[in-house]
Amino acid sequence: MSLIKKDKFSNIRDLSIPVLALDVVIFTIFKWELCIITQKKEKENWPKHVLPGWIMAKWFSIRENIENLLKRKTWIQWVFYEQLKTFWEVERDPRWHVVSIVYYALVWTDNFLHNVDFTQVDIIKFDDLDKLDFMYDHKKIIEYAKQRLKWKLEYTNVAKDMLGEEFRISQLQEVYEIILWEKIDKRNFQKKIFKLKMVKETWNLDKSTNRPAKLYKFVDKELKIYEVL
């Protein structure tokens, strides 16, 4: 279902209630670094980076709003997303009182690279946050979302949404190390993953290197709780 394009609010400052908005933090592993997908702004006097978002369209559910937001702003569809937090501070937007329902989403890079319009979005490194300018409180939101992602990684199989359908165990471990920002013992990691029966062999080999390696896939396609770490 597509959302109807809304006209800009000309008298939004006169509303007696806060404006309800929706923003989304999109994480991906790009060139084996944790990255965020941001939306470009055309106005020269605005900072370059802003989270994809818009004012909530009435008569549509939050799910319909966020799925249309992802598709229209980034060309990302059919990915894992989860509500993060509601940011309601009065001064977070200098133009008017905006209450933002924030989600975070995870996407395997190859799922959108072929379709994404890079005149509309950027892929920025999480490690570069302090070097960049963001609108409003979006840097704070991204940092909060990163902490939520780290916690989620410790007790679920959410890493499945940042890898392709088949992968090497070493690639799975690298995803954990990138997000947790720490090295993990290879032997202990593999032992724990196999003990949990989180992944299973596909009986295919990755022959992209001189040393072919077994390929695995997640047992559960849906989010499931595990005692990973």
* Contact criterion met (CB below 8 Å) for 26 and 126: no
* Contact criterion met (CB below 8 Å) for 103 and 63: no
Instruction: Specify the length of the chain in residues.
Output: 229
Predicted local confidence at residue 43, as pLDDT: 60
pLDDT in tens, 17-31: 888 999 999 999 999
Percent of the chain with pLDDT over 70: 90
User: pLDDT tier at 80 (50, 70, 90 boundaries)?
Assistant: very high
Q: Is 217 helix (H, G, I), strand (E, B) or coil?
A: strand
User: pLDDT tier at 5 (50, 70, 90 boundaries)?
Assistant: very low
CA 119 from centre of chain: 19
Taking CA atoms, 67 is separated from 27, 29, 34, 135, 149, in Å, by 16, 21, 22, 22, 20
pLDDT in tens, 166-183: 999 999 999 999 999 999
User: pLDDT tier at 47 (50, 70, 90 boundaries)?
Assistant: low
Residue 228 in this model has a pLDDT that exceeds 80: no
Mean pLDDT of all residues in the chain? 88
Predicted local confidence at residue 42, as pLDDT: 62
Residue 225 in this model has a pLDDT that exceeds 50: yes
Lowest-pLDDT range, 3-7, 11-15, 52-56, 165-169? Answer: 3-7
Predicted local confidence at residue 120, as pLDDT: 83
Average pLDDT of the residues in 141-159: 95
Which H or E run includes 121?
A: strand 121-125
Predicted local confidence at residue 12, as pLDDT: 55
Predicted local confidence at residue 180, as pLDDT: 94
| Structure tokens belonging to residue 197 | 């029966």
* Contact criterion met (CB below 8 Å) for 2 and 69: no
73 C-beta neighbours (distance < 10 Å), count = 20
In the chain, what are the domains? 16-154 (3.90.79.10), 158-218 (1.10.10.10)
Predicted local confidence at residue 142, as pLDDT: 97
User: pLDDT tier at 3 (50, 70, 90 boundaries)?
Assistant: low
CA 201 from centre of chain: 27
The 8-class DSSP code of residue 42 comes to: -
| Residues 6 or more apart whose Cβ sits within 8 Å of residue 109 | 28, 29, 30
